[in-house]
Amino acid sequence: MQKQPTSYKELGLVNSRDLFAKAVKGGYAIPAYNFNNLEQLQAIIMACVETKSPVILQVSKGARNYANQTLLRNLARGAVEYAEELGTPIPIVLHLDHGDSFELCKDCIETGFSSVMIDGSHLSYEDNVALTCKVVEYAHQHDVTVEGELGVLAGVEDEVASETHTYTQPEEVEDFVTKTGVDSLAIAIGTSHGAYKFKPGEDPKIRLDILEEIEKRIPGFPIVLHGSSSVPQDLVATINEHGGKLKDAIGISEDQLREASKSAVCKINIDSDGRLAMTAAVRKVLDEKPEEFDPRKYLGPARDSLKELYKHKIINVLGSDGKA
């Protein structure tokens, strides 16, 4: 069977343009939560409906490979209806996280995504501009919004390990957003992917001074922060109390993210904290009830814990509650 092109508008999804404009003005950030399976999607939608928050559903290349991109896409299609069923329609963006080629972005745009990231941050500046331009040109024909990236996050990014940060250079941002026409810009100011963002003894600070400098160059332009998990220590402890071995897992403090949310940072990406919440809950159930073998009995509590974590982020860190 031939895959039928679908516009996100037919699915009731929205692109990120208006949401970002409101978030920048209102001094809050929209949660960008990754999902790979049913329980994660349920937790995201339940949390956002209960807090009346807009949401960006993120699908990575890894998620597409894990869950099968057709199944995943069709799960996401149900999200709009599901939110209405839960009682509150909320704006939902379906976003490709870390797109690494024009072809992948095009495929997502043709199959109902309302937003894509083209991550050319590992390329030379000129090649990043060229690739991003190509994606923007195609995406905008379909009213799909595009996130570009300047600077490289430390840690594991796109399966490429980079030991050190290459912070975004404020001198480049104006030229990049003008030349490419991107709708938002992901920057590197010391956040990183995964649960091991800092080493013990390091000062776990992000460079809010660079963010400020960037904002001066492109006032009001929507900024995105990747790698923004805080790695809650109670979750790490629960995991380790129930057989896990997560040593020295350290994240970004919620205080700094709260500060960033008030600026032009209007999208904050959180995935690892959700992974920790689910893992802690699953480990606890299986450890305390070794007789249990119904997946609903451990995935259910994992989903509940994930929902609470996501609500906490919305209300206490991002400030997007009530903004749907």
Ligand X SMILES: O=C[C@H](O)COP(=O)(O)O
> Does 270 sit near ligand 13P (CB under 6 A)?
yes
Task: For residues 71 and 93, give the distance between their C-alpha atoms in angstroms, rounded to a whole number.
Answer: 18
Consult the annotation and say whether 122 binds a ligand: no
Burial of 134 (0-12, 13-18, 19+ CB in 10 A): middle
Supply the residues annotated as catalytic: 97
63 binds, among ligand X, ligand 13P, Zn ion, none (CB under 5 to 8 A by kind): ligand X
> Which 103-122 positions form the footprint of Zn ion (CB under 5 A)?
119, 121
Task: Quote the DSSP letter at residue 290.
Answer: T
> Does 60 sit near ligand X (CB under 6 A)?
yes
CA angle 130, 131, 133 (to 5 degrees): 65
- Contact map string, positions 13 to 52, toward ligand 13P, x by CB under 6 A: ---------------------x------------------
Which segment (46-54, 72-80, 263-271, 289-297) binds ligand 13P by CB under 6 A?
263-271
* Closest to ligand 13P by CB, 31 or 319: 31
Provide the terminal-to-terminal Cα distance of the chain, rounded to the nearest Å: 37
Task: For residues 165 and 151, give the distance between their C-alpha atoms in angstroms, rounded to a whole number.
Answer: 8
Tokens of 114: 């309302």
What minimum distance in Å lies between the beta carbon of 84 and ligand 13P?
Answer: 27
Gyration radius (Cα) of the chain, Å: 19
Burial of 251 (0-12, 13-18, 19+ CB in 10 A): buried
Find the residue with minimal CB distance to ligand X.
62
Consult the annotation and say whether 159 binds a ligand: no
**Helix pair 38-51, 272-288: axis angle to 10 deg:** 110
Phi, psi dihedral angles at 151 (to 5 degrees): 100, 155
Which segment (33-41, 72-80, 143-151, 314-322) binds Zn ion by CB under 5 A?
143-151
Of 23, 63, 144, 173, the residue at the interface with ligand X (CB under 6 A) is 63
* Closest to Zn ion by CB, 80 or 268: 268
Of 111, 115, 269, 320, the residue at the interface with ligand 13P (CB under 6 A) is 269
> Does 61 sit near Zn ion (CB under 5 A)?
no
> Which 183-222 positions form the footprint of ligand 13P (CB under 6 A)?
193-194
* Closest to ligand X by CB, 49 or 277: 277
β-pair partners for 6: 111
Which segment (122-130, 240-248, 267-275, 299-307) binds ligand 13P by CB under 6 A?
267-275
In three state form, how does the secondary structure of 185-220 look?
Answer: EEECCCCECCCECCCCCCCCCCCHHHHHHHHHHCCC
Consult the annotation and say whether 226 binds a ligand: yes
* Closest to ligand X by CB, 145 or 228: 228
- Contact map string, positions 217 to 236, toward ligand 13P, x by CB under 6 A: ---------xxxx-------
Coarse DSSP helix, strand, coil percentages of the chain, rounded to the nearest 5 percent: 50, 15, 35
Which segment (9-17, 48-56, 57-65, 312-320) binds ligand X by CB under 6 A?
57-65
Query: Any residues with CB less than 8 A from the CB of 237 and at least 6 apart, and which?
Result: none
248: left (phi over 0), alpha (psi -120 to 50) or beta: left
Residue with tokens 């992901």: 186
* Closest to Zn ion by CB, 83 or 96: 96
Residues in the site for ligand 13P, rule: CB under 6 A?
A: 34, 97-98, 193-194, 226-229, 269-273
Residues in the site for ligand X, rule: CB under 6 A?
A: 34, 60, 62-63, 97-98, 193, 271
